[in-house]
Structure 1
Amino acid sequence: MLKPCLKRLQRGGTVVFSRTTFGCEGAGVGLGFVNQYSDGLEYFLSMGNEFIPEADQERPRAIIGMMDISARPFIDADLLSFSVPYAMSREMENNVPGSFLDKHEWKKVVERIQPNN
């Protein structure tokens, strides 16, 4: 369902979703048509049909996505996704103070990539 939507958007068209046409459950939650995921879906990472409970692992991993070769032609060349378990994202956030992200040089990079700069 996503490929035709992306093609239409690339051509400047409009895509509309409703309670009956949003596609997968993740899209339903993201678009606000469904209030929560089914049990276990929070563990799903885009790795086939396999559920990987990263949050429950001794050493959870971060996952870089949008690498599917069939989807790459329909997304910006410089776009990837990044997914981490919630606890890992909190740990990463807590590590920002004092890290390179908190330095003057990085703030110059942030200013450069901000829209309308």
Structure 2
Amino acid sequence: MSNVVKPTIPAEVADLIENMRKAGVTNQEMTRVAQGHTSVPVYNEILSSIPFDTLLAALVNGYGRDKAPEDPRYVELRKEYVWRNGSITEYIIGMADGIRYAVAMLGVKIEGVNA
């Protein structure tokens, strides 16, 4: 019997790990990104949204995806943005605009964003 622990991580983190692997990013580079050593802070925010030990276990041992359902409004916004722009890189870069649009659509006011 194996003592390997495969953590369950949020879908957003799993998606980023998979996309980074497709781009040839190593586990070592991903841990550096999680620690803030990158010029793309969105990646840092996503990878550091889980405990560092959990990230390490996920990178080395594999992982399961969190089964929590996503807000359908968020899913539709993401599909629409990716469809219009055609790539995950453009999606990541455009997340700030998407957030502004989403909070406006939901009627939420955030100091420094739309208030």
TM-score grouping bracket, smaller chain normalisation: under 0.3
Which TM-score applies when normalising by structure 1? Answer: 0.23
- Which has more radius of gyration? 1
Which TM-score applies when normalising by structure 2? Answer: 0.24
